[in-house]
Structure 1
Amino acid sequence: MVSPGILLVDKPAGLTSHDVVARVRRAFGTRKVGHAGTLDPMATGLLVIGLEGATRLLTYVVGVDKTYEATIRLGQSTGTDDADGEILARATEASWTGVTPERIAEGVRALTGAISQVPSSVSAIKVDGRRAYDLVRAGEEVVLKARSVTVSRFDVTDRRAGDGTLDLDVVVDCSSGTYIRSLARDLGADLGVGGHLTALRRTRVGDFDVADAVDLDGLADARLLSPAAAAARVLDPLSVSAADARDLRHGKRLIGQATRLRGSLAAAIDEDGVLVGVVEKRGDDLKSTMNMPEVAQ
């Protein structure tokens, strides 16, 4: 029997996140596998994957902030805002006149902090129950609503001039739901030369780092993070007694213990180091909002 746990995988380019999940299912011999946060086929990097009962933890991983390394190509616009799309427009020689290092820095600053961002039309966002990218592929026009996101870091680390293009290597720290393709598109539009993404790598998801991930060839020897260890990276850990753990598992409240929580949620971990579940404040009490299955972990 497969033990529940969290697996960190370094996704290669050319595979979908679903492809990776399928490989993990085969490697571990279980159907109960899920991931926290899709990566496009062209993207590489960190996928946080849950197995068995640990899939319940993925809800709390999805919303954490993330770090990406990317390359933005200025001077070309594509239909998908990345290199997989057809080039729709190329910058003229005259349009490059005002694209100075100072002007690029201004454009980057304008896309840093709390911003309103329109996701790419080929994103996985659902419109009337269907994925936006499916609608686009079916020939339908899709205009998604702007959403508020936070880009806490947007650094240009290198630049390379090409034939009518300028590539910028960037590092971005951002809130969940931020589209790096949209940053590339919007920076190019602001500079008047167009832009799209040519490379994307996710290096961090909350406190999970791609340096600790395995590649697909290493799945057979991969070690899982226990649910308790993984939950403690996402939520504040809360030690509970055996009696309290039993009450939480039976749906009972922990009377008068709300003051033990610093935030709104915590990972309840019993005396044996086993994750009981996730608890939340209910008035002066604590109540379980998610219980882990009672199996050996």
Structure 2
Amino acid sequence: MNSGQVHSGLIIVDKPQGWTSHDVVGRLRRLAGTRKVGHAGTLDPMATGVLVIGVNRATRLLTFIVGTSKTYTATIRLGQSTVTDDAEGEVTGGSIAAAVTEAEIRTAVAALTGEIQQVPSSVSAIKVKGERSYARVRSGEDVDLPARPVTIHRFDISAIRRVSSGRLQDVDVTVECSSGTYIRALARDLGGALGVGGHLTALRRTRVGPYSIASARTLDQLAEDLGILSLDDAGRALFPVRELSDAEAADVSHGRKITPNAEPDAPVAAFAPDGTLVALLENRGGAARTVLVFAPGGKE
């Protein structure tokens, strides 16, 4: 299969544990026969679940998908802290969590819900003076990252159970959050608030924007059929929609401004009368202007 045969669009992958997001991109490049493949938001190797992949011209949509809200299921272990805030790092401390009550856990979870200031995990990919934070940590440097605002729309507890003869407690949760939230940091902060330490032992992303785990496919399934979601369908799923006249579609395809969108504060997917995604538009200076223009036709 070569790039001339592969349509532009999105692939919703159920990432396996142990794979990096870059590993998945490499596999999809080989399956799709094109170098123009990217992903919309990294998942750690330990994590599984929804990874949105863009192929050919759909890679231009990935910036917008990165900023959408996400949903995760996770397990937080109370009673141990680790250097990475997850199960892959060395244990650095903690206290016996046997005496922590369910009511105390629920109170601490409630305090971490809503608009909060979160310090990212020190082993995140955030750059510090041009170098990834995790690289500085691995070289032995202490890294202090500034807190930043995130929104935890939902932080629900589904189960609490004692492990290691009751010395530790595992808390199964579902988290719906804004882009830029670190679930590892939530685990760390929950353990810190309870005074016993905490880290993440399991993480599965179940939704990215409009794309859920129900529509995700394993790499083995994708090897049989890539199942690319069309650029047109992606535009309708991700943005408010504006249907253009033939004259408007011609103007927009050449980057010319048209009358303002009905949606004043967000990009709008603009479609030609034949249903083809022509461009993304946003209101600026009293008119709708192009953010991205997509070339006609379904192929690269």
Task: Please classify the TM superposition score into its range, dividing by the shorter chain length.
Answer: over 0.9
- The question of 1:48 aligning with 2:52 is answered yes
Contact 1:81 1:195 in 2 (8 A): yes
Determine helix, strand or coil for the equivalent of 2:229.
Answer: coil
Q: CA deviation at 1:96?
A: 4.2
Query: Could you say which residue in structure 1 is the equivalent of 2:73?
Result: 69
Query: Could you say which residue in structure 2 is the equivalent of 1:81?
Result: 85
* Counterpart Cα distance in 2 of 1:72 and 1:88: 16
Q: What amino acid is the match of 1:122?
A: V
Q: CA deviation at 1:165?
A: 0.7
Q: Size of the alignment, in residue pairs?
A: 292
Question: Pairwise mapping of residues 72-221 of structure 1 onto structure 2 (< 5 A)?
Answer: 72-92=76-96, 96-97=98-99, 99-163=100-164, 164-220=167-223, 221=225
Query: Could you say which residue in structure 2 is the equivalent of 1:241?
Result: 245
Q: CA deviation at 1:293?
A: 2.9
* Counterpart Cα distance in 1 of 2:136 and 2:294: 37
Could you state the TM-score of these two structures normalised by the residue count of structure 1?
0.95
* Counterpart Cα distance in 2 of 1:275 and 1:130: 38
Percentage of matched positions with identical amino acids: 54
Query: Could you say which residue in structure 1 is the equivalent of 2:268?
Result: 266
Contact 2:231 2:277 in 1 (8 A): yes
* Counterpart Cα distance in 2 of 1:249 and 1:198: 49
**C-alpha RMSD of matched pairs (Å):** 1.2
Pick one of 6, 10, 13 that aligns with 1:9: 13
Contact 2:122 2:144 in 1 (8 A): yes
Q: CA deviation at 1:43?
A: 0.2
Query: Could you say which residue in structure 2 is the equivalent of 1:283?
Result: 285
Q: CA deviation at 1:296?
A: 2.6
Gap regions ≥5 residues in structure 2: none
Contact 2:246 2:272 in 1 (8 A): yes
Q: CA deviation at 1:242?
A: 2.3
Q: CA deviation at 1:264?
A: 2.6
Contact 1:56 1:292 in 2 (8 A): no
Pick one of 203, 207, 230 that aligns with 1:226: 230
Contact 1:96 1:193 in 2 (8 A): no
Runs of 4+ in 1 over 3 A off after TM superposition: none
Q: What amino acid is the match of 1:290?
A: L
Q: CA deviation at 1:262?
A: 5.0
Q: What amino acid is the match of 2:248?
A: D
* Counterpart Cα distance in 2 of 1:169 and 1:243: 54
Gap regions ≥5 residues in structure 1: none
Determine helix, strand or coil for the equivalent of 1:258.
Answer: coil
* Counterpart Cα distance in 1 of 2:269 and 2:110: 37
Q: What amino acid is the match of 1:8?
A: I
Q: CA deviation at 1:259?
A: 4.6
Q: What amino acid is the match of 2:284?
A: R
